Amino acid sequence: PSGFTECLREWDDLEKNYQQIQDTHRLYKQKLEEVTRLQGSCSGAISRQRKKLRELRVSLQECKDNHPTPKLNPEDVDSISEVQSLIRERGEAFSEMEAFLPQKNGLYLNLVLGNVNVTLLNKQSKFAYKDEYEKFKLVLTVILFVFSFTCRFLFSYRALDALFNFLLVWYYCTLTIRESVLINNGSRIKGWWVFHHYVSTFLSGVMLTWPEGALYQMFRNQFLTYCLYQIGFVQFLQYYYQSGCLYRLRALGEKHNMDVTVEGFQSWMWRGLTFLLPFLFFGHFWQLYNSITLFTMFQLPECKEWQVAMCGCSYLVLFMGNFLTTLGVVYQKYRN
């Protein structure tokens, strides 16, 4: 609009349009209230049914166990078993429903973020969130790789190392937050992988406080090379494998609900996994090696720093957890 009359005409148009927006907004607020009410009643009803189902399961089991006394004919026993399997199915159906209902935050999210709802209420945004999480890890992997390369081969300042460790602390903290959000959204990530990031945060924090000195220099190169390998190289392979899984699962449509057509996915997954596993295990044994190195250093007479023992313990915990969990995951996949 350039002239005065044009401006006034434009304003009139906007005025009319504004009325419309107000109407839409009013409708929106009303629907929003309805949705909130429905959310509450769905969640409430589901948790009440869940409770009753649990009680019923116990009662049915009791009926079965005390069998000879109240006398049941074989059909009755069959129908009990049938109801029992239906109860299990019902539980899964409820989980499916709950994917669209806001969930309570866990303790950690409540501490860090407070009481905001982080449940994404449709499959696309859940997928997009997971995808973003993998991309975030990838970008940080590249940055950390360059950073640790610089520290290892180019510059050797304690302050730069501190910055690197600070970045690690921040990175692991962020991962724990995002993983809590993923879990809230129904991801089946094993508890250990989350806990492992808490331990890593702690470890990086302790590395941060380790003062410059002969002992620090003794461990420095080994630590940085380990970071190059683990955070750079292995994480990259892991990204490739896990985002591959994610996209293939999505292409298959429904997740966690695989049937026969999934064979292609299964074979891809096994190929990826067998390729990945040697590198993973090598990384785990490097953690064990780090821990042994640190415990040996701890026995030196000149060792005064508490950080040495603390890091040693952390690496030991990481090794055991990672190794056992990975073995467990592989065993579980093999049995399916």
Ligand X SMILES: CC(C)(COP(=O)(O)OP(=O)(O)OC[C@H]1O[C@@H](n2cnc3c(N)ncnc32)[C@H](O)[C@@H]1OP(=O)(O)O)[C@@H](O)C(=O)NCCC(=O)NCCS
Within 151-180, which residues bind a second copy (CB under 8 A)? 158-159, 162, 166, 169, 173-174, 177-178
Question: In the set 283, 291, 294, 310, which binds ligand X (CB under 6 A)?
Answer: 283
Q: What is the DSSP letter of 154?
A: I
Task: Give the shortest CB-249-to-ligand X separation in angstroms.
Answer: 7
The answer to whether residue 322 forms part of the interface with ligand X (CB under 6 A) is yes
Segment contacting a second copy by CB under 8 A, of 29-37, 238-246, 275-283, 313-321:
29-37
CB neighbourhood size of 3 (10 A): 8
Rounded to whole angstroms, the Cα distance separating 319 from 56 reads 43
Question: According to the binding rule CB under 8 A, does residue 95 interact with a second copy?
Answer: no
Q: Which helix (H) or strand (E) holds 313?
A: helix 306-335
- Distance, C-alpha 323 to centroid of its chain: 18
Chain residues 235-254 in contact with ligand X, contact rule CB under 6 A: 238, 241-242, 245
Out of 85, 136, 281, 334, the residue judged to bind a second copy by CB under 8 A: 136
By the 8 A CB rule, do 206 and 263 touch?
A: no
For residue 331, the minimal CB distance to a second copy (Å) is: 32
Q: Which region among 56-64, 182-190, 216-224, 258-266 touches ligand X (by CB under 6 A)?
A: 182-190
Binder to ligand X among 224, 280, 297, 303 (CB under 6 A)?
280
N- to C-terminal Cα separation, the chain = 68
Which two tokens mark 77? 């026993």
With CB under 5 to 8 Å by kind, the binding choice for 297 among a second copy, ligand X, none is none
Residue with tokens 């860090």: 112
Under 8 Å between Cβ of 321 and 329: no
**For ligand X, which stretch binds (CB under 6 A), given 31-39, 58-66, 188-196, 306-314?**
188-196
Query: Could you tell me the smallest distance in angstroms from the CB atom of residue 206 to a second copy?
Result: 8
Sequential DSSP letters for 39-79: HHHHHHHHHHHHHHHHHHHHHHHHHHHTTTTT---HHHHHH
Residues engaged in binding ligand X (CB under 6 A): 130, 187-189, 193, 230, 238, 241-242, 245, 276, 280, 283, 322, 326, 329
